[in-house]
Amino acid sequence: MNVYAGPPRALTRTTLRLVPLTPIHIGDGTDMRLDEYLLEGDDLCRFDPMQALRAMSVAQRQAFQRALDAGNLAEAGRKLREAGRACILERVPLTKRSREELDQALRNPTARSGQVKPFIRSGGRPYIPGSSIKGAFRTALASAALPRDKLADDRWTHETALREAFGLDPQRTETDPLRFLHVSDAFLPQDATLIDKAEVVKPGGRPATSPGGHGGIQMHYESTYSLIDGEDAPAFEVRLDIDERALSPAILARREAGFDAHSALARLRAFHVAVFNAETKRFFEDNSKKTLLRTLLSHSSPDGRPPLNGNAWDPHFVLLRLGRFGHFESKSLEGVRRGVEEAQPKKEKPRRIRAPNEWGRTRTVVRDAKGNPIPFGWVIGWVVKEERV
C-alpha cells in the first residue's frame, strides 16, 4: 500500500479526444489459429474449440476423429468449424484481402498457418491501454530532456539515454518523473476493428521481396478503422492526470525532466511530427503521402480550428504513435537512436548496429482502397477539457 503523508496533491486533468489517423494494432501476444475461427460472409467468427468439441453429436465426433486418424487436417477442421457455428464468441469484419487468403488457409491448412493477431481486449472489449500512451510520452519527454552534449551520439544506448534524460537511479523508482503522470485506459466503441492483411515495403512504398522483408509470409492483424479508410473512425477519450510535483525542482533529479500538461503535450507533438515528416518523406511518396497529410491537416478541433496555422501547430492538437509497427524510430530517442540492422542471410554481411539516427529499411503497412501503402499506428486528436482536480 502506498501512503502519502504530505499536503493534498494538486492534479491537473487534461482530457484528449483521439482518433486513429491510420490503423492501430495493439496485440496481447496471442494468435487466433485455424481451429479457433470460421469465415461467414465478410466476418471472421471466433469460437471456443473445446465448446465446439463438447457440442458435437456422437456421429460428428466419430467423423472428426476419423479425419484426424487419416491425417486429413482440412476435413477435421471443417468438422470442427461445423460444430463451432453453435458457439460463436464474436464476429470481426474482414477485408477482401484477408478473406481470400484465410479462406485458402482453411481449405489447405498444410500450406498456410492462417494465424490472425487479435486486438487486446478486457472483458471482451478492445481497448487502448493507458500504458501504451504513457510510453509515447516517455520517449518524447526523454528525447527533449536528454543532455546531448554529455556524450558523442554513438556512445548513447537507449537505456543510458533514458537514465540521463530523467536523472533515473535504476534502484529507486521514486526518481522517475513519469510517476507523476497517469494515463487512463480507453475502451473502443462497438465495431471499431477489422482484420486486414499487412505487408512490408521498402522506401518509396516498393514491396519488400528480400529475405528480411517476410517474402510470402501472410500477416493478418485485427486493427482499428481509421480516418484513412474513409469510414467512421473510432474516437476515444483519454484522461491525463499530472501531479504538479512533476515540476518541482526539490523533487526532480533534473530540472530539465520536469513537465506540466502544456509542455508534455508540446514535446509529444514535436517529437512525433518530426518522425511523421521523416517517415512520409522516406517511405510514402505521391498518393500515400498526399493522403496522409491531407487527412491529418483537415482534422479540425471541435470548435473548428485547423491543426496548423501558418507554420505553428495549435497547442491543443495532438499527434502520437501507438501500438505495433510504430517501428524503432517512434520508440527511441531522436538523434541518438541506434537500431540493429535487419536480419541478413547467413552468406551476407553479419548484423550490425546502425549509425546514430540511421533509419530502418522497411515499413509494415496495410493498403487503402486505392492500393496505396499506409503505415500503422498514427493517432491525432485534440484537448477537449482542462481542469484541476
Which of the listed residues 68, 93, 116 is the one where a domain comes to its end? 116
| Residue 196 counted as domain residue | no
Residues 6+ apart with CB under 8 A from 231: 225
Residues 242 and 176 in one domain: yes
Separation CA 99–CA 364 (nearest Å): 19
223 and 194 in contact (C-beta within 8 Å)? yes
- pLDDT for 10: 87
pLDDT in tens, the chain (389 residues): 344 444 557 899 999 999 999 999 999 889 999 999 999 999 999 999 999 999 999 999 999 999 999 999 889 999 999 999 999 999 999 999 999 999 999 988 887 788 999 999 998 899 999 999 999 999 999 999 999 999 999 899 888 999 999 999 888 888 899 999 999 999 999 899 999 999 999 988 788 764 433 445 689 999 999 999 886 899 999 999 999 999 998 899 899 999 999 999 999 999 999 999 999 999 997 889 999 999 999 999 999 999 999 889 999 999 999 999 999 899 999 999 888 766 555 555 656 788 888 898 899 999 998 899 999 999 999 999 999 98
Which range marks the domain in which residue 317 is found?
Answer: 11-24+128-186+231-388
Name the CA dihedral angle for 271, 277, 280, 286, rounded to a multiple of 10 degrees: 160
Q: Which of 382, 375, 237 is nearest to 302 (CA)?
A: 382
Count up the domains in the chain and report the number: 2
Position 355 scores a pLDDT of 87
Q: How far apart are CA 22 and CA 170, in angstroms?
A: 36
30 DSSP assignment: -
Among 88, 116, 144, identify where a domain stops: 116
Q: Which residues pair with 221 in a beta bridge?
A: 117, 196
CA dihedral (278, 282, 287, 290) in degrees, to 10, reads 10
Domain co-membership, 340 together with 306: yes
User: Looking at the domain assignment, is residue 325 inside a domain?
Assistant: yes
**H or E segment to which residue 50 belongs:** helix 49-55
Mark whether 313 and 264 lie in a shared domain.
yes
Tell whether the torsion through CA atoms of 14, 193, 271 and 153 is positive or negative. Answer: positive
Extended beta strands in the chain, E state: 11-20, 37-40, 43-47, 88-93, 121-122, 125-128, 181-183, 186-187, 193-201, 219-224, 236-243, 308-309, 312-313, 317-321, 363-367, 373-375, 378-388
Residue 240 main-chain phi, psi, to 5 deg: -105, 120
